[in-house]
Structure 1
Amino acid sequence: MKREKGLLIVLSGPSGVGKGTVCGALRKEDTDIRYSVSATTRAPREGEAEGVNYFYKSKAEFERMIQDGELLEYAQYVENYYGTPRSYVEDMLAAGHDVILEIEVQGALQVKETFPEGVFIFLMPPSLNELRSRIEERGTETADLIDNRMTVAKEEIDLMDKYDYVVENDEVESAVERIKAIVTAENCKKDRLIHLYKSLVEE
């Protein structure tokens, strides 16, 4: 039986934890999940592409999107804006597709206010030392910026209790399998399906 509305899955966690890598691997394995591309004012990193990793915007363009109500959520993180374009997410959910958002913690908490029925997954590093190593390996931040990211990461980990699930990103393949299991279980929840099956009895 076709669902009336898709499932909104929100994946967030500290910078450097591997959200993009995990989502990329998930997309390759499960074509039924639609991936929402975020907008950002930060510069593209090597290998990133417009419309694939992010929609890259100027600060003025991003602030116009905020004023026009075009964003489901947005946050300012380490001097850059990040946000989720609203129309794509709402259209896909209405069509019955599951949608995954890969967003920062600030943004995830905004989405929770609008979509409390969503599934919120916190991606956790094996340790803070491992998190710092991953950020350093990117080679895109100064030492001061890395220190700033680590301070923010500790604050974000303190917000873990706002989420429904915690997945440790020790190995990408294992993290993807755990997320797929969560999505499968959530799609089978009684509260999401009961009205559909009760309609069979009424017919």
Structure 2
Amino acid sequence: ALVLRAGTPVSRGELLDAVWGLEPPAAQVVPVYVYRLRKCLRPGDGQEESVIGRDRGGYRFSGEGVELDVDTLEQITADAAALASDGDLTAAVGRYDDALALYQGEPLSGLPGPFAEGARRRLNERRTVVMQEKLELQLRMGRYADAIGELAVLTSAHPHSEPLAALLMRALYGSGRRADALGVFTRLRRRLVDDLGVEPGPLPRRLHQAVLRGDDLTIARR
């Protein structure tokens, strides 16, 4: 709750709500936990100040000089985007793989409380976006077969995602699997209509028509 809001004061009440939710203990437990954390996170030989400070607004985690995976993730993805913008798609895909390697299982695994739950959801959503950006580059490079496996897993986990379904359609079609690409659209439409009462948007519809006609999908994807 402190690390993921580095530099921002978090009050005792906010920590109680974030960590314990609807059944918080007495407010006096917060200083006890913070004291233990300060001891655990005190750098060096114990003479320096802890990375957790205190001011009138509450407790604050100081991120200066501290390496956090969430910060590293954003740095690497920014590198990948810059490489892609410069046309070095192979290096960009490699950097996206480096970013995804920071995820080791479920983010914040085993941590209870509403703040951890929300952060876990956001980190998982961020992983999906990073994977989507990487897979888009692989398709641009013509590496269709390499992308199909990951896209199949992603579309199964996110059955209502039109962008992911569109990527899988492109990967299958590019691999010569025209019928399977059409099947992706059929399943997407059925799920959207049955579960949400809506039709697919312009992108999957445009790709579907392009596959039916046998068009070049580099045009239809836009």
TM-score normalized with structure 1 length: 0.27
Larger Rg over CA atoms: 2
TM-score normalized with structure 2 length: 0.25
More strand as a share of residues: 1
More helix as a share of residues: 2
Structure with higher RCO (Cα < 8 A, 6+ apart): 1
